[in-house]
């Protein structure tokens, strides 16, 4: 019974402990890093799953660190949404960790490998902490842990540009972190508490003070930078393009999603829907920005020649979808957003893993270089195609499910003029993914390139293909069995918005 | 800095006292102002003073790269382990009073709980001190090395 009670803290402590042990053990046994990472991420995934199930059974779980009762001590809260996001993050962490082995062997120097895994686990620690914490200052601390780990991970990219990309992100990420900290400070100044539930109780009386409004503005801008909402997205394309393949897959699938989750928490759980709609018209601002993000992300993606960069711009559009649902702020649209956190993690994880596998085998990152790849790497490319179809939003894939809920939500809110945004962007998504799919299957290899490739079939190692394929399979599985994630997400959305 | 005999002599005299003061600040942390971070910074500063006065080569003889690397993570590791020890004793993470279970059988008197909490915080302060000092030293060596290049 005891160990069950302590699960909320263990999901944070286990990756932290393994992150510290990895470099120490890595000094003795070189290859230990990968095994430890896989075991640790799998354990965390199982724990997150069991936490989610116990929330589904018996409601939210609260854990007080050090036995200090909230609101004085730091509180960890597992409810529908945090349980859901933790399962998504740890699932992706595990699958990408399995995939990582060969890719890391190729892209990371051998003596740096154990540090790479340490940073990977530290990144997971930060993400789990950001998700589970019910304390504002603790949130800031985990945001910083996540950011520092991710700067290091991106800087390990094999080209020199990786350092510049990482440095740019470091500057912007630090500004974002500072803004969040200022927000936390102002809220503490206004209320004298850092506990989220306590803030929710105390804030409504202070909604009209400049201090609280300023705090909210700082949060919104800081988090928009973290989750790369459209005008704040400049750091993202370079970071995703230059990072090692494993990092692109993991970060693209999880980091910005957790940022979006934190935005939801603060908008709906610390503040209320009433505040967002009536006191400051933040939902309309976010609606405009996210619509821009959806369209602009897709348009810029069309003109890219590097496939990683194309996926990065597509991520900006997809983050737009999540914020779009949040900004509509009714329970159907927010359900769409929460489901899209899961769905986009599956799709982007799978797509970036496929690209990583292609880079592993051929070193090609240009879309033009993918010609005839459908024959050379049929399984990998099948996974890519499923991911691409899902991104477009073809029925029976997960992409369709989230777009369906977003459109329904927009219609329910009588914002019919938003429907074309989603539809046009699906069309644009089809354009830029079709370009890739076309060159994969319908172009024959030029004579010049076939010299490089002796055997006609040259599949990536199974340890890379299977995880990518598994995520692609999930894209279809949860596109058909959509009720599984949707039922959790819709309960989570109702609780966030206070409908229940 | 070979010719600066005064600096070297003064550092040699001062460093033990600085380190003693650092230990005092760490040990004092649970009851008064001070604590692991402050003490660690002072301890790290004493090593930095040594390196400034005697040079990088002699400095690395005192604290080898491997030592500071290992100490960096050892501090955090011990911190996590103290937290987990509290779990083993049946309390919440970092709930020091539960540590009483280890030295007073089944019943925890107020005195035992008080002592446990005391020891728990002591442990935490010490390991924070180790990490902070090691990180200060590492950062200084890294920065100084790039200066050399």
pLDDT band at B146; cut points 50, 70, 90: low
The pLDDT tens digits for B68-117 are: 888 888 888 999 998 888 888 877 888 888 887 777 665 667 788 888 88
- Per-residue pLDDT, averaged over A141-165, amounts to 92
Residues of A at the B interface, defined by Cβ within 8 angstroms? 2, 6, 9, 13, 16-17, 20-21, 23-24, 63-67
Question: How far lies B61's CA from each of B10, B40, B72, B137, in Å?
Answer: 20, 20, 18, 13
Chain A: nearest CA to B5, how far in angstroms?
40
pTM here?
0.91
Tell if the CB–CB gap between A24 and B80 is shorter than 8 Å. no
In sequence order, what are the residues at sequence separation of 6 or more whose Cβ sits closer than 8 angstroms to the Cβ of residue A287?
A324, A327, A328, A415, A418
Crossing angle, helix A331-362 and helix A245-264, to 10 degrees? 170
Residue B34 pLDDT: 76
Three-state DSSP at A195 gives: strand
- By Cβ distance, the residue of A9, A63, A67 closest to B97 is A67
Q: Which structure tokens are listed for A128? A: 């789990």
B131 in reach of chain A (CB within 8 A)? no
Q: Do the beta carbons of residue A497 and residue A331 sit within 8 Å?
A: yes
B144 in reach of chain A (CB within 8 A)? no
Query: Chain B residues with CB inside 8 Å of A6's CB?
Result: 87, 92-93
Crossing angle, helix A245-264 and helix A210-226, to 10 degrees? 160
Number of helices (H), then strands (E), belonging to chain A: the values are 22, 2
Tell if the CB–CB gap between A66 and B93 is shorter than 8 Å. yes
Residue B3 pLDDT: 67
Site from B71, B92, B113 to mutate, A interface, most A CB atoms within 10 angstroms: B92
Rounded Cα–Cα distance for residues A382 and A169 (Å): 33
Which candidate, A393, A399, A395, places its Cα nearest to that of A426?
Answer: A393
Rounded Cα–Cα distance for residues B9 and B58 (Å): 15
Mean pLDDT rounded to a whole number for chain A: 89
**Sequence-ordered strand ranges (E) for A337-458:** none
pLDDT band at A78; cut points 50, 70, 90: very high
Rounded Cα–Cα distance for residues B134 and B127 (Å): 11
The pLDDT tens digits for A218-228 are: 999 999 999 99
Rounded Cα–Cα distance for residues A293 and A49 (Å): 32
Three-state DSSP at A306 gives: strand
Tell me: pLDDT of A105 over 90. no
The pLDDT tens digits for B3-55 are: 688 888 999 999 999 999 999 998 887 777 778 899 999 999 999 999 988 88
- By Cβ distance, the residue of B80, B84, B92 closest to A67 is B92
Q: Could you tell me how many CB contacts below 8 A there are between chain A and chain B?
A: 44
- Per-residue pLDDT, averaged over A228-234, amounts to 88
Q: Which structure tokens are listed for A497? A: 């918005």
- Per-residue pLDDT, averaged over B114-130, amounts to 87
Q: Determine how many CB atoms are found less than 10 A away from the CB of residue A91.
A: 24
- C-alpha torsion angle, residues A140, A143, A145, A147 (rounded to 10): -140
Tell me: pLDDT of A268 over 60. yes
Q: Do the beta carbons of residue A139 and residue A183 sit within 8 Å?
A: no
Rounded Cα–Cα distance for residues B65 and B45 (Å): 17
Tell if the CB–CB gap between B73 and A23 is shorter than 8 Å. yes
Three-state DSSP at A151 gives: helix
Site from A10, A11, A67 to mutate, B interface, most B CB atoms within 10 angstroms: A67
Residue A119 pLDDT: 93
Tell me: pLDDT of A2 over 50. no
Chain A: nearest CA to B32, how far in angstroms?
20
What H or E segment, with its residue span, contains residue A61? strand A61-64
Rounded Cα–Cα distance for residues A115 and A498 (Å): 43
- B9: containing domain: 5-148
Number of separate domains in chain B: 1
The pLDDT tens digits for A480-493 are: 988 889 999 999 99
Q: Do the beta carbons of residue A62 and residue A76 sit within 8 Å?
A: yes
Query: Chain B residues with CB inside 8 Å of A64's CB?
Result: 92
Query: Which B residues in the span 68-127 are in contact with A, Cβ-Cβ below 8 Å?
Result: 69-70, 73, 76-77, 80, 83-84, 86-87, 90-98
């Amino acid at each position: 019974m005891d160990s069950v009670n302590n699960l909320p803290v263990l999901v944070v402590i286990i990756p932290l402990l393994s992150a510290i042990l990895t470099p120490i053990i890595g000094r003795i046994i070189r290859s230990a890093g990968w095994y430890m990472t896989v075991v640790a991420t799998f354990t965390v995934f199982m724990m997150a799953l069991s936490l989610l199930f116990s929330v589904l059974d018996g409601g939210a779980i609260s854990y007080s660190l050090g036995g200090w009762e909230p609101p004085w001590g730091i509180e960890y809260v597992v409810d529908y949404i945090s349980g859901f996001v933790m399962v998504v993050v740890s699932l992706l962490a595990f699958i990408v960790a399995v995939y990582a082995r060969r890719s890391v062997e190729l892209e990371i120097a051998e003596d740096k490998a154990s540090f790479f895994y340490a940073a990977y686990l530290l990144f997971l620690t930060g993400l789990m902490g950001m998700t589970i914490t019910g304390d504002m200052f603790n949130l800031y601390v985990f945001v910083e842990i996540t950011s520092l780990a991710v700067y290091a991970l991106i800087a390990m990219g094999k080209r020199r540009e990786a350092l510049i990309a990482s440095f740019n992100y470091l500057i912007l990420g630090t500004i974002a972190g500072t803004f969040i900290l200022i927000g936390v400070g102002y809220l503490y100044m206004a209320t004298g508490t850092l506990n989220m539930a306590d803030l929710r109780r105390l804030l409504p009386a202070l909604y009209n003070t400049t201090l609280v409004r300023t705090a909210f503005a700082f949060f919104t801008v800081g988090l928009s930078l973290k989750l790369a909402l459209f005008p704040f997205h400049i750091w993202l394309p370079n970071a995703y393009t230059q990072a090692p393949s494993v990092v692109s897959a993991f970060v693209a699938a999880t980091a910005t999603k957790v940022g979006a989750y934190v935005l939801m928490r603060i908008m709906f759980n610390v503040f209320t829907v009433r505040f967002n709609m009536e006191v400051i018209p933040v939902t309309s601002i976010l609606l405009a920005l996210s619509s821009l993000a959806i369209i602009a992300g897709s348009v810029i993606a069309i003109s890219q020649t590097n496939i990683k960069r194309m996926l990065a711009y597509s991520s900006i559009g997809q983050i737009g979808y999540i914020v779009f649902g949040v900004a509509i702020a009714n329970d159907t649209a927010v359900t769409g957003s929460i489901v899209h956190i899961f769905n986009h993690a599956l799709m982007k994880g799978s797509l970036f893993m496929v690209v990583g596998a292609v880079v592993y085998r051929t070193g090609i990152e240009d879309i033009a270089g993918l010609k005839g790849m459908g024959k050379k790497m049929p399984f990998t490319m099948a996974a890519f195609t499923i991911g691409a179809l899902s991104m477009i939003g073809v029925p029976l894939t997960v992409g369709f499910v989230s777009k369906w809920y977003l459109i329904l939500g927009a219609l329910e809110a009588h914002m019919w003029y938003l429907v074309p945004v989603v539809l046009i962007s699906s069309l644009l998504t089809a354009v830029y993914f079709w370009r890739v799919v076309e060159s994969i299957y319908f172009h024959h290899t030029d004579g010049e390139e076939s010299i490089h490739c002796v055997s006609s079939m040259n599949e990536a190692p199974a340890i890379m293909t299977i995880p990518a394929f598994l995520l692609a399979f999930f894209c279809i599985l949860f596109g058909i069995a959509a009720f599984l994630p949707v039922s959790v997400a819709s309960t989570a959305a109702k609780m966030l918005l206070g409908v229940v | 800095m070979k010719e600066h005999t005064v600096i070297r002599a003064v550092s040699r005299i001062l460093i033990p006292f600085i380190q003693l003061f650092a230990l005092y600040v760490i040990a004092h942390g649970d009851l008064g102002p001070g604590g692991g971070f402050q003490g660690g910074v002072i301890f790290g500063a004493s090593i930095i003073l040594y390196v400034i006065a005697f040079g990088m080569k002699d400095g690395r003889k005192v604290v080898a790269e491997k030592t500071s690397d290992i100490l960096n993570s050892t501090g955090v590791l011990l911190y996590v382990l103290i937290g987990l020890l509290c779990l083993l004793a049946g309390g919440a993470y970092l709930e020091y009073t539960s540590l009483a279970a280890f030295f007073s059988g089944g019943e925890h008197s107020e005195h035992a709980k008080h002592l446990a909490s005391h020891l728990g915080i002591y442990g935490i302060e010490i390991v924070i001190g180790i990490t902070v000092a090691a990180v200060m030293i590492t950062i200084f060596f890294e920065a100084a090395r790039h200066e050399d290049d």
